[in-house]
Amino acid sequence: MGKKQEIERLREQLNQWLVEEEHDNDEVWLKRGGEAIFQRFAQLGSSAIAYNQLGDPETALAILDQLEGYHGPGQPNHYERITVTAIDADGEKYTCYTYVYPSERKEWLEQHAKQVFGGDWMVFLHSKDEVMYFAYGSCMSERDFRCTVPHFEVMGRAVLDDHRLAFTRYSRGRQGGVADIVPSPGDRVEGVLYKIPARYVTELDWREGVPAGVYRREYVDVQCKGQLVSALTYVVVEKQLDEIAPSESYASIILDEGASLLSTHYTERVRRHIEHLRRRER
């Protein structure tokens, strides 16, 4: 079955789920398979990106139209395609397509729509009310973390494979380098896995400077208590090539306050890395 045929088949199923959703709560709807359909749509949507990267934007747009149920102006569309102006982190403006519900569904939306806390659909899709968050820097300190997220549950030590801890950005507030994770085959980053209310994701965004383009959200798969867990974390957007040594106070938050759940081997490795950075800067 080709992608276009599969999209149409999934669309028929999705339309049926959407009809049933008007009578069911989210938990019932997800158990019936709605989430699986959305995930498959996401996989097919990556094809549109691939087409665009290969220099065929018309084909990419046609696939996106199918995914969103847009058949053309004046047609019975599931979503309408409109043109908007988007601004990136550098202030550059772009004219883009996006998809919105038709105006005739406004009344239904006002009665049934739910707020997506923080504006992140992936956060909403993963857990609705609660989010798994992987902390590898200052947020490993419960004292420091509580300043931003007053209510949380510590799930335990978590390990991110094929990455390493790095200090790729200078922070005036922290007076030195701040933590980041970068791909590094064979290495691992240890951290703390939290379960937090989804409403605090926006507060974490502000803490990490997401609106200013300092960090960005990313989902990573971490090992925690023998299970693979998909968790939200943050990574530096513009990484400096030469790492910057963290300040004494920031390093203490990571190595002393935040290290209670980490292995001694990992903590010592991070300590040696920080000392190396400091010697290099002398």
Render each residue's pLDDT in the chain as its tens digit; 282 residues.
555 565 556 556 555 544 444 444 444 444 444 445 455 455 445 444 444 444 567 777 887 888 788 888 888 888 899 999 988 767 788 898 888 888 887 777 777 666 565 566 665 655 557 899 999 999 999 999 999 999 999 999 999 999 999 999 999 989 999 999 999 999 999 999 999 998 899 899 999 999 888 999 999 999 999 999 999 999 999 999 899 999 999 999 999 888 889 999 999 999 999 999 999 887
> Residue 137: how many CB atoms within 10 A of its CB?
24
The pair of structure tokens assigned to 261 is: 């759940």
Report the candidate in 124, 126, 144, 280 with the shortest Cα–Cα distance to residue 199: 124
Is residue 211 within 8 Å of residue 170, measured between CB atoms?
A: no
φ, ψ for residue 52, nearest 5 deg = -65, -40
Question: What are 88's two structure tokens?
Answer: 């990136």
Q: What is the DSSP letter of 271?
A: H
- Let me know if 160 is exposed, middle or buried by CB neighbors in 10 A (0-12, 13-18, 19+): buried
Running DSSP on this structure, what letter comes out for residue 91? -
What span, in angstroms and rounded, lies between the C-alpha atoms of 152 and 143?
12
- Tell me whether strands 215-224 and 227-236 are parallel, antiparallel or unpaired: antiparallel
